[in-house]
Amino acid sequence: MRPQRHGGCLYFFLVSILLLLVVCFVTAVVAEGVEVMAAAEEAQLLPRPLVIELPSAAAEGERELPAEVRCASWRLAAEANNLAPWNVVPEECAGYVREYVNGVSYRSDLEVVAREASTYARAARGGDDGRDAWVFDVDETLLSNLPYYAEHGYGLEFFDHLEFDKWVEKGEAPAIPSSLKLYNEVRELGIKTFLLTGRSEGHHGVTVDNLKKQGFHDWDKLILRAAADRKKTATTYKSEKRKDMEAEGYRIIGNSGDQWSDLLGFSTSARSFKLPNPMYYIP
């Protein structure tokens, strides 16, 4: 009987070793997974290399593409959020961007987005309890800052917060006509309208006056960036404000903005609408 007892002890010893190895293996796999996730998150943090080089057929030994074609490709990549964060419009494309935002193409692009959003809004109402909500950005979504950018290279210059604040304080930003029409249609449908802007709370008064002067009235809430939000990226700041809306019981059925940071993150809307803006990028 004694040899059997030794055999049983050896069996349990080997099983214990095996279990210990399994635990170590699982722990290592989990740790590696955490490291991979952390690396992935870190890869999304700024700054990343700026991608402002334009496609060039000549680099591949082919005929050089016309500048307007190269710049159109750059704008498409910027609008589709396929470029890494960029600070300025490529110098070669300054004229192209100027012509675009002052021409019929920009106006047509804005109108297409507004019409699609309007069609969706009429079909997407979730109920009659007054809890459906639509989030609107302000700059380059409801109000246009083209007069300011006309004096600053249409995105060719590095952004100057002090100069832009001086422009905001004038309260002269015109309405984007197609956005004003959409805004009024959303209001008429009984959908709550929340205006969520990256402007600072110090510009509350002038922003209200500017919006009203341009025909925007009766919004349900205007949210500006508080001092506690200043160091947050726009994506984080706007996500947190949308989360607050949801916590108050609202259903965010629509969201309109000219930046991907207006639309991405968490507590996103049931459907989002990206307005064109090739002049600047806000993370």
Tell me the per-residue pLDDT of 208-244, one tens digit each, with 9 for 90 and over.
999 999 999 999 999 999 999 999 999 999 999 999 9
**Residue 121 near residue 270, CB atoms below 8 Å:** no
Chain segment 152-205, per-residue pLDDT in tens: 999 999 999 999 999 999 999 999 999 999 999 999 999 999 999 999 999 999
Residue 139 burial (CB count, 10 A): 23
Q: Is residue 280 part of a domain?
A: no
SS3 175: strand
Q: Looking at the structure, tell me whether residues 251 and 114 fall in a common domain.
A: yes
Q: Is residue 158 part of a domain?
A: yes
Number of domains in the chain: 2
- Domain span at residue 129 reads 105-274
Alpha carbons 198 and 270: distance in angstroms, whole number: 22
Task: Tell me whether residue 244 is exposed, middle or buried, using C-beta atoms within 10 angstroms of its C-beta: 0 to 12, 13 to 18, 19 or more.
Answer: middle
> Which residues on adjacent β-strands are paired with residue 256?
136, 273
**Residue 88 near residue 50, CB atoms below 8 Å:** no
- DSSP symbol at 252: E
Residue with tokens 């740790």: 31
Q: Looking at the structure, tell me whether residues 22 and 110 fall in a common domain.
A: no
Alpha carbons 148 and 193: distance in angstroms, whole number: 27
Choice between 34 and 21, residue whose per-residue pLDDT is larger = 21
Q: Looking at the structure, tell me whether residues 20 and 145 fall in a common domain.
A: no
Query: What pLDDT is recorded for position 213?
Result: 98
Residue 2 has pLDDT above 60, yes or no: no
Q: Is residue 32 part of a domain?
A: yes
Beta strands in 108-239 (DSSP E): 132-136, 192-200, 221-225
Beta strands in the chain (DSSP E): 132-136, 192-200, 221-225, 251-257, 272-274
Query: What pLDDT is recorded for position 84?
Result: 84
Q: Looking at the structure, tell me whether residues 135 and 239 fall in a common domain.
A: yes
Chain segment 51-84, per-residue pLDDT in tens: 445 555 455 555 688 999 999 999 999 999 999 8
Q: Looking at the structure, tell me whether residues 30 and 155 fall in a common domain.
A: no
Q: Looking at the structure, tell me whether residues 136 and 246 fall in a common domain.
A: yes
Query: What pLDDT is recorded for position 43?
Result: 38
Q: Looking at the structure, tell me whether residues 233 and 155 fall in a common domain.
A: yes
Chain segment 93-151, per-residue pLDDT in tens: 999 999 999 999 999 999 999 999 999 999 997 678 999 999 999 999 999 999 999 99
**Residue 275 near residue 140, CB atoms below 8 Å:** yes
Q: Is residue 116 part of a domain?
A: yes
| The pair of three-digit structure tokens given for residue 265, joined into one six-digit string | 């993150």
Cis peptide before 47 (omega within 30 of 0): yes
- DSSP symbol at 161: H
Residue 40 has pLDDT above 70, yes or no: no
CATH of the domain at 202: 3.40.50.1000
**Residue 181 near residue 256, CB atoms below 8 Å:** no
Q: Is residue 79 part of a domain?
A: no
Element (H, E) at 273: strand 272-274
Query: What pLDDT is recorded for position 29?
Result: 42
Confidence of residue 12 (pLDDT cuts 50, 70, 90): low
Q: Which range has the worst mean pLDDT, 9-18, 124-133, 217-226, 258-267?
A: 9-18
Alpha carbons 218 and 221: distance in angstroms, whole number: 9
Q: Is residue 223 part of a domain?
A: yes
SS3 16: helix
Half-sphere exposure of 235 (CA within 13 A, CB side): 11
Give the residue-averaged pLDDT of 12-20: 57
